[in-house]
Amino acid sequence: MVAITVILAALFLAYLMGFFWFQSGCECNPPSLIKITMIDNEKTSAGRYKSVVTIKNTAPYPFPNDDLRLELLINGVKFRDVSTLNGHNFIASHHYGVQTIGGLGTHNQNMIPNSLITINFADNTIYPNEIVTVRIYQKGKGDGIFLDSKAILNEKCRNDWALINFHGIQARAPCPISEDSMRSS
């Protein structure tokens, strides 16, 4: 009986110290702090679908745009990554399917409240009547504004981030700080 108690205590301690997780993925329900405001996928003169997504910071505070990365999902499948939302540090690459980013939210160091960012993905990335989702992640250790503000992440997600950050271990993919979806027309 003592051996079983010691083994269970060791397993619990290992779990608390972040050595392993019994769950995979993130179970957070991130808020829509950065929302999709428009999807432009009209046909070009060459007959290809434009794939331009415009997002807006709807939070009441700025986000450091170079500390953010964006994941584009189409119909629930991860399709593209944008490694930074800072216009100065973004490097366009047709190889990765992102042509340009622009807008007031890419200027300076912060995506201020109500500012827009327009992301021009490669043509024919988004077709009509698809569900387009953007997930915004914080790069780095997660010890910035997003942990400090209890209004941003739900309690389970905050606790997961705090545990990972406290021990300096990134045991699984971080939770997105924002997620929003829209159907393309």
State the sign of the Cα–Cα–Cα–Cα dihedral 94, 80, 163, 180.
positive
Cα–Cα dist 132/118, whole Å: 14
The pLDDT confidence band at residue 31, using thresholds 50, 70 and 90, is: confident
Q: Quick one: CATH architecture of 28-183?
A: Sandwich (2.60)
Q: How many helical (H) and strand (E) elements, i.e. helices and strands, does the chain have? A: 3, 10
pLDDT tens digit string along 136-160? Answer: 987 764 444 444 444 444 555 555 5
| CB contact at 8 A, 20 and 13 | no
Dig out the tokens for 178 from the structure: 């924002």
The pLDDT confidence band at residue 13, using thresholds 50, 70 and 90, is: low
pLDDT tens digit string along 98-140? Answer: 989 999 999 989 999 999 999 999 899 999 999 999 999 877 6
Query: What DSSP line would sit under 13-47, residue for residue?
Result: HHHHTTS--SS-S-------SEEEEEEE--B-TTS
The pLDDT confidence band at residue 57, using thresholds 50, 70 and 90, is: very high
| Residue appearing with tokens 């910035």 | 144
Q: Which amino acid is at 175?
A: C
Query: What DSSP line would sit under 40-100, residue for residue?
Result: E--B-TTSPBPEEEEEEE-SSS-EEGGGEEEEEEETTEEEEEES---TTT---BGGGTEEE
Instruction: Tell me if the pTM is above 0.75.
Output: no
pLDDT tens digit string along 69-99? Answer: 899 999 999 999 998 999 998 886 656 789 8
Residue 165: its pLDDT value, please?
45
